[in-house]
Amino acid sequence: MMHIKGCHKRFMCVFAIMGVVLSMMTPATVDSEPVSPILIGLSADVSTVAVEGGIAIKRGATIAINEINQQGGVLGRPLALTVLDHRGNPSRGLDDIETLVVDKEVIAILSGVHTPVALNQLKAIHAHKIPFLIPWAAGTPVVDNGFEPNYVFRLSVRDEWAGGFLVKKVADQGYKKVGLLLERTGWGRSNEKSMLKAAATFGLEVTSVQWFHWGDKMFAQHLSELKGSKAEAILLVANAPEGASAVKAVAALPEADRFPIYSHWGITGGNFIEQVGLETLQSVDLNFLQTFSFLNPDNHPDRQRFVISSYKQWDDAVTAATIPSAVGVAHAYDLVHLLAKALKQAGVVDKVKVREQLEQLEPYQGLVKHYQKPFTPKNHEALDESDYILARFTNRGTIEPVHD
């Protein structure tokens, strides 16, 4: 794989698949120009707050592109990935879209972890009529965005359902009163709405809603407010840095006062383990949302083996238990395959026609699940609440599903 090192945000890094260009040339015309690739853009944080999630998305997409190219590419052309790093900044994310669409060979754009960035990109996405594929950002309005036709397709969690899933898990454990600890962004507000609605449905009392900003490290006052409200458990919506600070604050409480925490999956998109520390982590009852695990025996075994084997190009010691941010890898892998199917059905490299074909895909056996109908004109969510699972960290820092 060719990687243009030192790539600045204003320049596009193209991850071409090694050997593809030569393989696509006809033997009789070795001196002719190679076939140009169809490009897939990626606008994600691959260097700062959500670097683990961003890299997982990049690697999942790359593995899928390798596999597709080894099978001859799409419409006689190879695929390649163009990566821009928005560093979690909404303004940079908007710049990424404007940079990517300049190249007419970019057929679709993958987003990263952050809902606030994806929300800020929506107007440009629809102005340029380019499919926007979401492998992580969970905010409900990313898909329910008011644009018609809608160019956003998500294979990830939807906050409207994620909030209900987490609230139900808390209720199933017998808790009656819960406090919300949410980041003050569009993602946090999306979850507040869904969690309050679900709490009413399941008979839970939300005793307090505490808000924090990106970069906040002091959570003692928030925990004091939650304790004073008689909350028995915490629903947490945070990315890795703030989530780590919140968990460390809970761990610092007397053992009898430590809230059980049910978290959205944002904490798994960065270096959360390194920031918290394994010893501290084991002193807190922390569960969190996931959609996929390589440890799940119900997953398609052949695809699991292929992806794990392919991941070894970056880490030859990786196992099913140790792939970082496995959901990002799996979601991006399946999304790229679905995009390739839409391209084949369209029969032409045309963004509008590809968008239309994404709504008309036939059943597909992916890594995450068997998609009976991945997307429809009325539904741009490939996953639903039945695909969500609860997980926790082991004493080795790996993620494993929690079995009821």
Confidence of residue 16 (pLDDT cuts 50, 70, 90): very low
List Cα–Cα distances, 323 to 3, 281, 373, in angstroms: 21, 19, 28
CA distance 403 to 259: 21
User: In a 10 Å sphere around its CB, with 0-12 CB exposed, 13-18 middle and 19+ buried, how is residue 362 labelled?
Assistant: exposed
Closest listed residue to residue 136, CA positions, set 41, 268, 240, 311:
268
Q: What pLDDT sits at residue 404?
A: 64
Tell me the pLDDT tens digit for each residue of 59-118: 999 999 999 999 999 999 999 999 999 999 999 999 999 999 999 999 999 999 999 999
Q: 371 with 358: CB under 8 angstroms?
A: no
CA angle 151, 324, 335 (to 5 degrees): 25
Q: 155 with 335: CB under 8 angstroms?
A: yes
The strands making up 38-44's β-sheet, listed across from edge to edge, are: 13-15, 79-85, 38-44, 106-110, 132-134, 152-154
Residue-wise over 250-264: b if at least 16 C-beta within 10 A, else e? bbebeeeebbbbbbb
Give the residues across from 82 on adjacent strands: 14, 41
CA distance 169 to 287: 10
The count of C-alpha atoms lying within 13 angstroms of the C-alpha of 367, restricted to the half-sphere facing its C-beta, is 29
Q: What average pLDDT score do residues 348-371 get?
A: 97
Specify the pTM: 0.89
Structural domains in the chain, CATH included, are 13-157+302-384 (3.40.50.2300), 160-290 (3.40.50.2300)
SS3 245: helix
Q: What pLDDT sits at residue 297?
A: 73
Q: What pLDDT sits at residue 312?
A: 97
CA distance 353 to 52: 33
Q: What pLDDT sits at residue 32?
A: 57
Q: What average pLDDT score do residues 7-15 get?
A: 46
Output the six-digit token pair for 246.
Answer: 């919140």
CA distance 370 to 391: 21
CA angle 282, 283, 284 (to 5 degrees): 95
Closest listed residue to residue 354, CA positions, set 177, 181, 105:
105
Average model confidence (pLDDT) for the chain? 92
Tell me the pLDDT tens digit for each residue of 116-158: 999 999 999 999 999 999 999 999 999 999 999 999 999 999 9
Residue 211 has pLDDT above 90, yes or no: yes
